[in-house]
Structure 1
Amino acid sequence: MSSTLPNAMAPDHATVRAQFNPLIKPFLVVKIGCAMMCTIIGIPLAIVWFLGVGRWWARHYFDRLECQMDERSIRFRKGILVTLEKTIPLENIQDVTFVEGPILRRFNLSTLKFETAGHSAGQASDMQLTGIIDAQAFRAQIIGAREALRHAPRIDEDDAQLRVLRSIEAKLDEIAQLLRAKA
């Protein structure tokens, strides 16, 4: 599930899939193991975690990671026992933040955080993607696709509003012709 398509949106609006860095597996093992070691109860669990359970979990977690962007939205999916899937419309994305701290850099990783419209400041980060290969380029693709969507004409030939507007335009043309005929 971690395949990739070209780095730019294809002209036929193909889906772009992010590819995840396999180094996310040891990063997750270390991150979760260190969190377990912060409590006395977690120390024995951390030992079991570091002896193999963590590597097993990280491998399966990595295999299920998926992120894809189409012409209208981004969909992110992860999880083993509980699967989390989020879809964010591109038009709702306010900002995409690129985060790369010293620990993430050590594993050659980074995180993309999405801020969407309609959320308070405390909930601004709707979705976080850690481990995308070439995250800066993927971020640029997202922002470019969002801008293209915002500037694209939103009128569709099958749209009911367009039919109503055309009907009004036709009636106005008829009225204009009648007024010209009377003048």
Structure 2
Amino acid sequence: MAPDDTTYRAQFNPLIKPFLVVKIGFTMACTVIGIPLAIVWFLGVGRWWARHYFDRLECQLGPRSIRFRKGILVTTEKTIPLENIQDVTFVEGPILRRFNLSTLKFETAGHSAGQASDMQLTGIIDAQAFRARILRAREALRHDAPKLQGNDAQLAVLQSIEARLAQIALLLERQQERGD
């Protein structure tokens, strides 16, 4: 999605870097095998990784979709059409609050219950305002949908269906005349 006048680019809080270092480091330290890895992680690898991860974080809200990109070695990019967004949940726990962060979880249509929150954005500056902007864009898109489709496109589809039904009716009449 190319940036234009209707595209809004979210900004991420730099405090996500120490949050990620601590979160991943403590997760590693919870296992016996992960303790040596956690030591290496806290000695500098984690800061290097978090800096590069932060530099590649990207989130854009366009007129019809939201696009999120993250990753260093493996890049993940997700695009969700606004009309598929069922809800955007704002999460702010005690650890996130300590780092002045929050998470937005997106629930989309067309996924099973286990995949309902298939995209999470942590660290967006002023996440409540960004959530409100997403929900307003979704509602505007839903209200403008009939205008966007246009009567000409609907008429063309209906004429195509009518022509196909006429062909089917003609074939059925011929079958009845032959006694099939």
TM range (shorter): 0.7 to 0.9
- Given the two structures, how large is their TM-score scaled by the length of structure 1? 0.80
User: Structure 1 pair 165/41, CA: closer, same or farther in 2 (3 Å)?
Assistant: closer
Q: CA deviation at 1:126?
A: 1.3
Match of 1:50 in 2: 42
Alignment partner of 1:26 out of 18, 29, 43: 18
Q: CA deviation at 1:121?
A: 1.7
Match of 1:93 in 2: 85
- Given the two structures, how large is their TM-score scaled by the length of structure 2? 0.81
Match of 2:153 in 1: 160
Secondary structure at 1:67 match in 2: strand
- Give per-residue Cα distances to partners, 1:85-105, cap 9 Å, x unaligned: 000000000000000000000
Letter in 2 for 1:143: L
- Give per-residue Cα distances to partners, 1:35-58, cap 9 Å, x unaligned: 000111111110110000000000
> More helix by proportion, 1 or 2?
2
Percent identity, please. 85
| Distance (Å, rounded) in 2 between the aligned partners of 1:95 and 1:140 | 11
Secondary structure at 1:87 match in 2: strand
Q: CA deviation at 1:165?
A: 6.5
> Following superposition of structure 1 onto structure 2, how do residues 70-85 of structure 1 map, counting pairs within 5 Å?
70-85=62-77
Secondary structure at 1:31 match in 2: helix
User: Structure 1 pair 40/165, CA: closer, same or farther in 2 (3 Å)?
Assistant: closer
| Aligned 8 A contact 1:60 1:80 in 2 | yes
The 4+ residue runs of structure 1 with deviation greater than 3 A are 162-166
| Aligned 8 A contact 1:155 1:162 in 2 | no
User: Structure 1 pair 102/164, CA: closer, same or farther in 2 (3 Å)?
Assistant: closer
Letter in 2 for 1:161: Q
Alignment partner of 1:15 out of 7, 20, 27: 7
Pair 1:111-2:103 in alignment: yes
Q: How many residues align?
A: 155
Q: Which runs of 5+ in 2 are unaligned?
A: 160-180
| Aligned 8 A contact 1:100 1:110 in 2 | yes
Letter in 2 for 1:38: C
- Give per-residue Cα distances to partners, 1:144-179, cap 9 Å, x unaligned: 00000000023247x53345679xxxxxxxxxxxxx
| Distance (Å, rounded) in 2 between the aligned partners of 1:156 and 1:58 | 47
